[in-house]
């Protein structure tokens, strides 16, 4: 993994990588602090020329530091069902379902928004999905390490199982009649986001309980999927905050 924020997030969680490369000649305070944290955690430190870091990061911005950490892995489908079946009755899970998000930058940005909004888990299909690689970890700025990502074999079938467990599924589609602000996210809920351009696949769309759209007031017809995801998730946060406030006053 690479990038200051991604490496710091890893170290802050007490998960020191086995080895860290720092760019030769770097004198920045941030890199020095990270190098010290990594050394204290038991990582081996090496100074390497910038071209070596560039080559390893495949042209992406590594910000002068690369950590060799244990690869992230998706959680299995069984883990999702066990977690939801044991969910406290007083709480309402909020899930994000990503259908056809194959771009690693969008995937990482969606994970970052999901973590910020307090999402309890992200669900992705085995096919038509981005990997949990170093670029995703960099863009997610630590969210990839903190939020569980569940990989399911058949997304439509998994969504049917979510319904059986009492989760209300809201999908986003540009042609939907209802606005995002008419949706109800106060109970157990899952938000489904489709790929840019194509949107959700047909079976995914049919598995939703309801479809909503973002009200677009300007000249553009759509937003980047990670931006749209953040807007939708924080509408859920807003609704849940109001419900909690009303419950405290009751």
Binding residues for S-adenosyl-L-methionine: 194, 214, 223
Alpha-carbon separation of residue 5 from 12, 166, 248 (angstroms): 10, 37, 37
Q: Which residues contact 13 (CB under 8 A, 6 or more apart)?
A: 142, 145, 146
CB atoms within 10 A of CB 183: 23
CA distances from 158 to 101, 162, 195 (A): 17, 6, 18
Query: Residue positions in the annotated binding site?
Result: 194, 214, 223
Q: Starting at the edge strand that comes first in sequence, how are the strands of the sheet with 65-68 ordered?
A: 44-48, 19-23, 65-68
Whole-number Å distance between alpha carbons of 167 and 125: 18
Q: Which residues contact 54 (CB under 8 A, 6 or more apart)?
A: 62
Residues 193/110, Cβ–Cβ less than 8 Å: yes
């Amino acid at each position: 993994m690479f990038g200051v924020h991604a490496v710091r997030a890893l170290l802050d969680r007490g998960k020191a990588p086995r080895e860290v490369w720092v760019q030769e000649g770097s004198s920045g305070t941030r890199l020095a602090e990270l190098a010290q944290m990594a050394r204290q955690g038991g990582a081996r430190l090496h100074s390497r020329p910038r071209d070596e870091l560039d080559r390893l990061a495949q042209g992406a911005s590594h910000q002068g530091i690369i950590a060799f950490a244990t690869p992230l892995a998706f959680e299995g489908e069984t883990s999702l069902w066990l977690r939801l079946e044991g969910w406290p009755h007083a709480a309402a899970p909020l899930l994000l379902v990503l259908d056809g998000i194959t771009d690693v930058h969008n995937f990482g940005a969606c994970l970052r928004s999901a973590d910020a909004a307090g999402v309890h888990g992200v669900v992705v299909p085995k096919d038509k999905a981005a990997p949990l690689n170093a670029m995703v970890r960099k863009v997610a700025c630590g969210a990839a390490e903190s939020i569980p990502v569940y990989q399911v074999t058949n997304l439509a079938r998994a969504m049917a199982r979510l319904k059986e467990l009492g989760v209300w599924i809201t999908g986003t589609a540009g042609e939907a009649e209802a606005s995002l602000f008419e949706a109800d996210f106060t109970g157990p809920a899952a938000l489904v986001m489709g790929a840019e351009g194509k949107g959700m696949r047909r079976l995914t769309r049919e598995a939703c309980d309801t479809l909503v759209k973002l009200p677009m007031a300007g000249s553009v017809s759509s937003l980047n999927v990670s931006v749209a995801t953040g807007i939708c998730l924080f509408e859920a946060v807003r609704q849940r905050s109001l419900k909690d406030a009303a419950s405290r006053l009751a």
